Amino acid sequence: MRVRSLAGQAVALQVAVVIAIVVVGSLLAVVDARADANRAAREQVTAVAVSIADAPSTAAAVTSPDPTTQLQPVTEQIRLATGIAFITIMNTRGIRYTHTDPRFIGGHYLGTIEPALRGQTFTEIYTGTLGPSVRTIAPVRAGDGTVVGAVAAGITQSTLTEDWVRQLPLIGAIGGAALVIALVGLWAIRRRLLRHTGGLTPTELRVMYDHHDAVLHAVREGLVVVDSSRPVLVNDEARRLLGTEEPHRIPEFMTSGTEPLRDVLVAEGGRVLMVNRSPVPDRDAAVITIRDRTEVAEAMGELDSMTRFAEALRSQAHESANRLHTIVALIEMGRSADAVRMATENLELSQKLVDRVGDAVVEPTLAALLLGKTAQAAERGVELTLTEDSMVDDHATQILSAGEMITVVGNLIDNALDAVEPSDPWVEVTVIGDAAHVHLVVADSGPGMTPAEFARARRRGYSTKAGGDTAGRGLGLALVAQVVHLHGGTIRAENTYGSVISVEITAGGQASTPTEPNAGRFR
């Protein structure tokens, strides 16, 4: 048997409920109409009976020698005018003086009169000569207050039934109209539900949801859905990559806008992320995918450094070959002293550089990085110097690991080498580190960046080089800022003797918040 769709089941249930409500409402309306008819009848016969009983002429006629002659025409006239079934006037023994059917005049009244004889007006349902009726009996009093008779006015039950039965077509028409309107509305709701649910059954929707939820949890790619600049879905991998368990705390650039993004690299939470964003047609919404490119970015950085180092070695090999040919020629010319001097001069300079870096930087990885960057700078025609007050011991790795030192120092030197002024290319590096703090200053001859550019570069990666984010550049300073922030340190830029970036990290992450510079340009 074919299972109804969710829309069909929902509408079928609503149709049943609407029909039940209309039927119950109609029955209640019928009951209410009947109750209203009975109440109106009681009020009417009571008013008629009391008004006739209280009339002085009624008491006078009852005590006269021929009451029927005086009362019968009057009661019939009132009965016809009010539309009630009967008006019976009787003496204290229950003998009728009036009746709708003259044949029953002089007979005993069928009903209760004792309360009326005691001076009470009351209403009852009793079966008399005309059938079951609602009747009110009121006492007739003489001038001295003595009860001399009673007046009974009533409406038959059949008349009351006819009155409220006449309302049934109206009640039925109203109920039918309400049912038709409700069914039309439910039909429109069914069409809308079918359009939105694709005609799927509840089981199919549940299976789809379970699969959807399983995919969101299992997929190894961050997924964020943004609607009206508000994240409405953030899967587990996206939370892990963004370093947050609260979906509303995702980076602002992901929620501000729906324009397409393709393979944009950003630095967030100490990671390099590749972000793609696709807008949802006809809605202020977008689907964002996030991939972790940290290892790839690190590998690309190492590959770039190795490529530049290889180029420097190739250049040095070419220069060494030229020197070797020159030395051989000097020996052949018998100028051995000049040959020895030329052979040892370059070695002395290289050894001095190795000794200087080795004495100042005990940590071997950082020392190797500085030597490699010096050779790289020399190949590019940039003078890179390590200041005299530089000093890093092994205890500095208690604050920053060797890998983090390479990230911070290497990226800042790379940025400085790219930003130097071509007419005066120089880079100056100061590295001080021990168990208490790590202090790093990298200065260059470049023009620097504005405060807004510097702030943007720290947040998500920014490059002044051609291509910017779309070329995968501009992550260096953002990665440095991530490491510094992770350890509670500070990073700031200023323009003094050059474009200067300084980093300060203390043990325990107790570095103070830096103040914003008031003037100058920043990088």
What is the model's pLDDT at position 474? 55
Look at strands 122-128 and 86-91 and give their pairing: unpaired
* Least confident window among 216-230, 296-310, 366-380: 296-310
Mean pLDDT over 298-316 rounds to 65
394: left (phi over 0), alpha (psi -120 to 50) or beta: alpha
One-letter amino acid for residue 299 of the chain: A
CA dihedral over 241, 244, 245, 247, signed as positive or negative: negative
Q: What secondary structure letter does DSSP report for 522?
A: B
Whether 142 and 280 map to the same domain: the answer is no
What is the model's pLDDT at position 470? 40
CA distance 179 to 182: 5
Helix, strand, or coil here: 184?
Answer: helix
CA distance 285 to 226: 5
Whether 226 and 153 map to the same domain: the answer is no
CA dihedral 20, 24, 26, 27 (to 10 degrees): 140
Cα Rg, the chain, nearest whole Å: 53
Helix, strand, or coil here: 240?
Answer: helix
Whether 242 and 391 map to the same domain: the answer is no
CA dihedral over 84, 89, 90, 92, signed as positive or negative: positive
What is the model's pLDDT at position 475? 67
Whether 235 and 370 map to the same domain: the answer is no
Residue 343 placed within a domain: no
Using the predicted structure, report yes or no on whether residue 515 has a pLDDT greater than 50: no
Helix, strand, or coil here: 195?
Answer: helix
Are the beta carbons of 45 and 123 closer than 8 angstroms? Answer: yes
Residue with tokens 């020895």: 340
Which residue, 255, 275, 292, sits at the end of a domain?
292
444: nearest Cα among 462, 417, 463, 464: 417
Range of the domain at 481: 360-506
Phi, psi of 167 (to 5 degrees): -85, -10
Whether 142 and 246 map to the same domain: the answer is no
What is the model's pLDDT at position 467? 44
Residue ranges of alpha helices (H) inside 333-441 are 336-360, 364-379, 402-419
Note the pLDDT tens digit of each residue in 130-182: 888 888 999 999 888 899 999 999 988 877 777 667 777 887 888 788 888 88
Phi, psi of 66 (to 5 degrees): -130, 80
CA distance 290 to 254: 10
Mean of per-residue pLDDT scores for the chain:
79
Helix, strand, or coil here: 149?
Answer: strand
Which residue, 246, 269, 292, sits at the end of a domain?
292
Mean pLDDT over 510-520 rounds to 37
Residue 175 placed within a domain: no
198: left (phi over 0), alpha (psi -120 to 50) or beta: left
Residue 425 placed within a domain: yes
- Written as six digits, the tokens of 348 are 């002395």
Are the beta carbons of 156 and 131 closer than 8 angstroms? Answer: yes
Whether 118 and 235 map to the same domain: the answer is no
Whether 144 and 224 map to the same domain: the answer is no
Helix, strand, or coil here: 420?
Answer: coil
Using the predicted structure, report yes or no on whether residue 366 has a pLDDT greater than 50: yes
Residue 190 placed within a domain: no
The three-point CA angle 11-14-16 to 5° equals 110
Q: What is the number of other CB atoms lying within 10 angstroms of the CB of residue 514? A: 13
| pLDDT higher at 175 or 76 | 76
Whether 118 and 247 map to the same domain: the answer is no
Whether 129 and 266 map to the same domain: the answer is no
Whether 154 and 37 map to the same domain: the answer is yes
Whether 270 and 378 map to the same domain: the answer is no
CA distance 236 to 221: 9
CA distance 278 to 239: 19
CA distance 436 to 506: 6
Are the beta carbons of 431 and 424 closer than 8 angstroms? Answer: no
Which residue, 292, 316, 335, sits at the end of a domain?
292
Does the pTM surpass 0.75? The reply is no
Helix, strand, or coil here: 204?
Answer: helix
Are the beta carbons of 237 and 307 closer than 8 angstroms? Answer: no
* CB proximity list for 494: less than 8 A, separation 6 or greater: 500, 502, 517, 520, 522
Domain of 397, CATH number, reads: 3.30.565.10
Residue 261 placed within a domain: yes
Residue 304 placed within a domain: no
Total domains, the chain: 3
Using the predicted structure, report yes or no on whether residue 472 has a pLDDT greater than 50: no
What is the model's pLDDT at position 426? 92
Whether 16 and 156 map to the same domain: the answer is yes
CA distance 412 to 501: 8
Q: What secondary structure letter does DSSP report for 104?
A: G
Where does residue 13 rank: exposed (0-12), middle (13-18), buried (19+ CB within 10 A)?
A: exposed
Using the predicted structure, report yes or no on whether residue 465 has a pLDDT greater than 60: no
Domain of 93, CATH number, reads: 3.30.450.20
Residue 176 placed within a domain: no
Are the beta carbons of 151 and 158 closer than 8 angstroms? Answer: no
H or E element at residue 391: strand 391-392
Residue 197 placed within a domain: no
